[in-house]
């Protein structure tokens, strides 16, 4: 018995539907940082929404132009991972 091509496509779509999910990065541009406001400033956090420090001094959030003309790629904030000018870099992570 031959199956029609359209039935094969429908069967394949049904077999693979629901098996893949898109990963979502939480707070990807670091804009959701409570207690942080102002321009040309910075602050270090142990964790922020979606992100945790895995080693080092912490997650340093900076606002646009804090480092003389360096601006965020998206929004007004970005991360610097040599927090407090420490001797070693910080690391941060997020489960996706």
Q: Per the domain annotation, does 5 fall within a domain?
A: no
Is 65 contained in some domain?
yes
Residue 32: Cβ-neighbour burial (10 angstroms; 0-12, 13-18, 19+): middle
Please report whether residue 49 resides in a domain: yes
Owner of token pair 């070693």:
88
pLDDT bin (cut points 50, 70, 90) of residue 34 is confident
pLDDT number for residue 29: 92
> What band does 22 get if pLDDT is binned at 50, 70 and 90?
confident
For the chain, what percent of residues have pLDDT higher than 90? 33
- List beta partners, residue 52: 47, 93
The answer to whether position 17 is within a domain reads no
| pLDDT tens digits for range 43-80 | 899 999 999 999 998 999 988 878 777 888 899 899 98
Q: Per the domain annotation, does 10 fall within a domain? A: no
Separation of alpha carbons 57 and 83, rounded Å: 6
Residue 47: domain span = 27-93
Residue 71, domain member (yes or no): yes
pTM of the model: 0.69
| Any domain includes 74 | yes
How many domains are contained in the chain? 1
Nearest CA to 80 out of 96, 68, 94, 66 is that of 66
């Amino acid at each position: 018995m031959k199956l029609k091509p359209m039935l094969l496509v429908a069967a394949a779509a049904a077999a693979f539907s629901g098996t893949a999910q898109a990963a979502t990065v939480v707070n990807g541009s670091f804009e959701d940082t409570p207690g942080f406001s102002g321009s040309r400033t910075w602050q270090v956090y142990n964790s922020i929404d979606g992100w945790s420090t895995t080693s080092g001094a912490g997650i340093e959030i900076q606002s646009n132009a804090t480092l003389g003309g360096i601006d965020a790629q998206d929004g007004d904030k970005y991360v610097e991972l040599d927090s407090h000018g420490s001797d070693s870099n910080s690391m941060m992570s997020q489960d996706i």
